[in-house]
Structure 1
Amino acid sequence: MPRTVTVGFEGSPESRAAVEWAAREARLRALPLLLVNVWEPVPAPMGRSPMLGPSTQQGWAQHGETSVGPGARRILRDAADDVRRRHQAVDVSLEQLTGRATQELLKAAVDAELLVLGWHGRSGVAGFLVGSVGLHVAAHAERPVVLVRAGESAADEHVPDPSGAVSAEAPFRPVVVGLDAAHPDETLLRFAFEAAALRNTALRVVHDPGPPPPGHGPHAGGPHAGGPPDTAPDLGDVLGPAGTPHPLRREFPAVEVVEEASQGKAADHLVEASREASLVVVGRRVRHSPFGAHLGPVTHRVLHHAAAPVAVVAHR
């Protein structure tokens, strides 16, 4: 049985953008699309789910619905029907779940190629604020989780023409991946290469080259001390030096790889790169302890500030 592109739907603008992104991704991957909603009963006069937007909750309350009823199912069916009309090549199904939203979504992610969720936020200096459900799922799912902001559209992923106009028919912007150059993980890289190949676009690899070799720093006495950037020593190619390319380069020969070794805070470089990206890919190490942070500081900052959809890929 093929995996699905699974998307959480709760009626908010963020989740509607996530559904639209997931439908486009399902078409690219030639996979079925599964819409899921989680009803989480609470001991209150009106049972509601954190996987439901305020407008949806209000509509259900007007009909006196305190559990999953015809209105709840109708809203989910309407969303699925809307996707079918606009993406006729995509096989769309839906599932209504009951329980704790985070737990049910983590279960749904197990059989998914990737799980897509809306992220709740606002634009401006503060960046995007990720909802607690999405943040928890991204920090614990072992399948890739993609977070999509409200208002994201197909045109945002494509290169504008000389006049500044954008079209979903234009070439895709690059896929950006943040990489730990000291420990490049193949799971993370494979996801990024596949995403770039599906979009027929370049892969922009952003990594910190680490400290310069002894004798080559700006305060050292070596031949490059204080020299301009173009005279800096060759810090190496994390995807394989010339003549011995990384296996993923051979597997995806059509993907142009652009490596950017940038000193400074990796998160800042990734956030800046996200402004010209169709997708940003970041990693997190799998941790089975229920305590402590499960998202590293770079991934956490990128989730809060990226200007493009962000894929969080778990790796060992």
Structure 2
Amino acid sequence: MERVVLGYDGSPASDAALEWAAFRARSEQTEVTVILVTNMFSSDRKEADRVLDAAARRWHSLVPGIPANVTRVDGLMPATLTKAARDADLLVLGVHPGFRMRTILNGWAPLRMAARSRIPTALVPAEWSASDEPVTVGVDDDDSSTTALLFAAETAVRLRVPLRVIHSWLMGSPEGGGHSAVRLSPHQVAAEHERILAAAVARVRERYPDVVVSAELVRDNPTSALTRAAERSSTIVIGTHGRGIVAGGFLGSIGLDLVGALRRPICVVPGARPSM
């Protein structure tokens, strides 16, 4: 059973997050906790109870067969919500498109929380609506994006949509230096990246044989590749090593470029922790 924690405050963005979580949970066993974080010294308890009651009624109307634990927790953001979600399988937050790095939860930055989280975090824009377009995930040159790849496949199962696996590449510098440098042709480089993409698709099909999977090899930077794919996607999945955002194997600003700019949910998935 998947355990989901959803940060909620009654805003349009948190309503969208609740609806996305309900849409994802409709066909699978899910244990959902909807949390409103309040400040015990300054919050209006009656208003908080009203907000939570509205959330409970909305959830029941969307998925009447799946109960949700709707609760208020006193504390400060983001530590209180992070602690509440530490044993969950998925954290869901709402975001306002056009206001990058800002969240509905007391103005805190959701991307920073997602990048540091030890569990997958879904960032759902306020304008979200259900779609039958594929889930899109970027894959790396190595195995570092395997966790994100499999999470994307699971999400495709839960949303009842296909999966699109994207691998983007650009010509690098010749290997070695000076006169001995090995100059690979674009055809040779593309063939190697085709192999990487095919291996990722095979991994999904082995684990999720019923998922419809398509593959796209794109000669471009990852931000452009995922941005173009977003308009024909229901959800975008990117990975993180816990030190920053990674998508399709590219460190740096891709998360900053995508969150708040796209009108699609973005799931940020941490890589597998090394065994001790």
1:51 is aligned to: none
Is the alpha carbon distance of 1:174 and 1:140 closer, same or farther for their aligned partners in structure 2, counting shifts above 3 Å? Answer: same
Cα offset for 1:196? Answer: 1.7
Give the match for residue 205 of structure 1.
165
CA distance in structure 1 between the aligned counterparts of 2:168 and 2:115, rounded to whole angstroms: 23
2:102 to 122, 130, 135: 130
Report if the CA contact (8 A) 2:133-2:234 is conserved. Answer: yes
Superposition CA RMSD, Å: 2.7
What is the TM-score with the length of structure 1 in the denominator?
Answer: 0.72
Q: Which moved more, 1:141-150 or 1:197-206?
A: 197-206
- Which residue pairs with 1:299 in the alignment? 255
Distance 1:111-1:27 versus aligned 2 partners, 3 A rule: farther
**Aligned match of 2:218:** 262
| Whole-angstrom distance in 2 between the partners of 1:269 and 1:294 | 16
Tell me how far apart the structure 2 counterparts of residues 139 and 14 of structure 1 sit (CA, whole Å): 20
| Higher strand proportion | 2
SS at match of 1:110: coil
Q: Shift in Å at residue 195 of structure 1?
A: 1.3
1:94-173 alignment to 2 at 5 Å?
94-122=70-98, 128-131=100-103, 132-154=108-130, 157=131, 172-173=132-133
SS in 2 for 1:32: strand
Partner SS, residue 311 of structure 1: strand
| TM-superposed deviation, 1:183 | 4.1
Partner of 1:192: 152
Q: How many residues align?
A: 254
- Report the TM-score when normalising by structure 2: 0.81
Write the distance in 2 (CA, Å) between the matches of 1:86 and 1:194.
21
Contact kept? 1:284, 1:314, Cα under 8 Å:
yes
Whether contact under 8 Å (1:278, 1:308) holds in the other structure is yes
Change over 3 Å in CA distance of 1:29–1:239 after alignment to 2: farther
Structure with the greater relative contact order (CA < 8 A, sep ≥ 6): 1 or 2?
2
Q: Where does 1:1-316 land on structure 2 (aligned, <5 Å)?
A: 2-40=1-39, 47-48=42-43, 65=44, 69-122=45-98, 128-131=100-103, 132-154=108-130, 157=131, 172-211=132-171, 215-217=183-185, 234-235=191-192, 236-240=194-198, 246-287=202-243, 296-315=252-271, 316=273
2:262 and 2:134 map into 1 onto residues whose CA distance is 14
What are structure 2's unaligned runs of at least 5 residues? Answer: 175-181, 247-251
Does the 8 A contact of 2:6 with 2:92 survive in 1? Answer: yes
Partner of 1:166: none
Aligned to 2:178: none
SS at match of 2:26: helix
CA apart distance, 1:74: 2.6
Runs of 4+ in structure 1 over 4 Å off: 212-216
Contact conserved, 1:120 with 1:130, CA < 8 A, in 2? yes
Offset, 1:269: 1.0
Shift of the 149–298 alpha-carbon distance from structure 1 to 2, 3 Å rule, reads: same
SS at structure 2 position matched to 1:101:
coil
Question: Contact between 2:101 and 2:111, CA under 8 Å: does it hold in 1?
Answer: no
In the alignment, the residues of structure 2 paired with residue 151 and residue 15 of structure 1 have an alpha-carbon distance, to the nearest angstrom, of 11
Q: Is the contact made by 1:181 and 1:209 (CA closer than 8 Å) also made in structure 2?
A: no
Q: Distance in 2 between matches of 1:233 and 1:70?
A: 60
| Cα distance in 2, alignment partners of residues 245 and 141 from structure 1 | 26
- Could you tell me which amino acid in structure 2 is paired with residue 180 of structure 1? D
Shift of 1:149: 0.8
Deviation at 1:151, TM superposition (A): 2.2
3-state SS of the aligned residue for 2:233? Answer: coil
Give the Cα separation in 1 of the matches to 2:144 and 2:115.
20
SS of 2:6's equivalent in the other structure is strand
